[in-house]
Every structure is written in C-alpha cells, then in structure tokens.
Amino acid sequence: MGEKGEQLGVMPRHQALETARKQGFDLVEVAPTAAPPVCRLLDYGKYKYEQAKKERELRKGQRVSLLREVRFRPNIDDHDFEAKVRTIRKLLDEGDKVKVTIRFRGREITHPELGWKLLQRVSESLQGAAAIARQPVIEGKSMTVILSPVTPKSTQKNQDVSGEPQIKTGEGVKES
C-alpha cells in the first residue's frame, strides 16, 4: 500500500524496500499473517509522533481521581468535627473521593452505633457536596464509608447514610 492507501500490488520484499527508499518512506508491515504479508509505505517517525500527540490530547481531558482518607474517633468534639468536615469538603471540591474512617479503640467497638451516628452527622453536613460511593462497612476495629464528589448523575443515587452498617466477616458481607 502506498502512503495515501493506494494499492501498489504484490511485489518482492527487496523491490518494496527499494520503492520505499526512493520515495523517502519506511516499509511497515501491517498484516504479517496475511498471505502475502501486507506492508505500507509511511514515514514511521511522523506516525509515532502523531500517535504520541493523540495520547497526550486524550490524557489532557482525563483527571485522576485519588482516594483520600480522613479519620475520626467516635468521641470527637464539635470543633474538631467541623474542621474535618471542612477538609472533606475541600477534597471533594478538588474532585477526589474521600474514605471516612472511624477508628475504635479498646471497648469502643462494643458501641458501633456511636460510629454510625457520626457517619450520619458527616453525611448530613455534606448533603449537597457528596454522594455515598460505598455504604458503611465495619472492618475489624474501624468503620468506613467512601464518599465521592457530586455529579449530576450521582445526585439521583442515595446521598445520605440509611440502613445499618455492614459487618465484614471471613465469609462475606452480612447485615448487622
């Protein structure tokens, strides 16, 4: 095939290489498994440059969403709570997902309802800014929920924490 896609016909390899050299192009094998193999005349350096340019353009439109974590304790004071909610709001505004973790220490794990109430408070504080990407789950000595920034599609999904947290065991996820 020529540089513009026209058919040059079946020819021996040395003749195809000579034709490519005369026209100032490279001979690139397009379909090696075909009988006979299909080759194309093109400027390979220019081709690679254009491919890299297309990749850069595609990458420019994408934004990598990071998963950031904010940790709470069940008995947090109001001011500390508000400061952490401001941090979560800032991270969500930047387009990152936020993993809210409530860490239980000692006997605090016997009262998961305190963590549950705290997660409800967080979701009420972030009512218009966050949507729940993953429902609350108790894993070991922590309770986690993943919040994602609100987009027009995610506003139709559930925005507040409802129901009971899930407890992860060795077999799977069970409702508590």
CA distance 63 to 146: 19
Residues 31 and 74 in one domain: no
Of 95-104, 120-129, 157-166, the one with minimum mean pLDDT is 157-166
pLDDT value of position 80:
92
Which residues pair with residue 40 across a beta bridge?
28
pLDDT value of position 134:
83
CA distance 134 to 13: 59
Average pLDDT over residues 108-119: 87
Mean pLDDT value across the chain: 79
Domain of 46: which CATH number?
A: 3.10.20.80
Residues 57-100 have pLDDT tens digits of 888 776 677 888 999 998 889 899 999 999 998 988 888 888 99
Q: Judge whether 4 lies within some domain.
A: no
H or E element at residue 100: strand 97-103
Question: Residue 31 corresponds to which tokens in the numbers above?
Answer: 């379909």
Residues 127 and 158 in one domain: yes
Residues 105 and 119 in one domain: yes
Average pLDDT over residues 15-30: 81
Q: Which residue segment(s) compose the domain that 119 sits in?
A: 67-175
The pTM for the full model equals: 0.53
176 pLDDT tier (thresholds 50, 70, 90): very low
Residues 85 and 170 in one domain: yes
Q: Residue 107 gets which letter from DSSP? A: G
**Domains in the chain, number:** 2
Residues 127-138 have pLDDT tens digits of 888 888 888 888
Residues 116 and 163 in one domain: yes
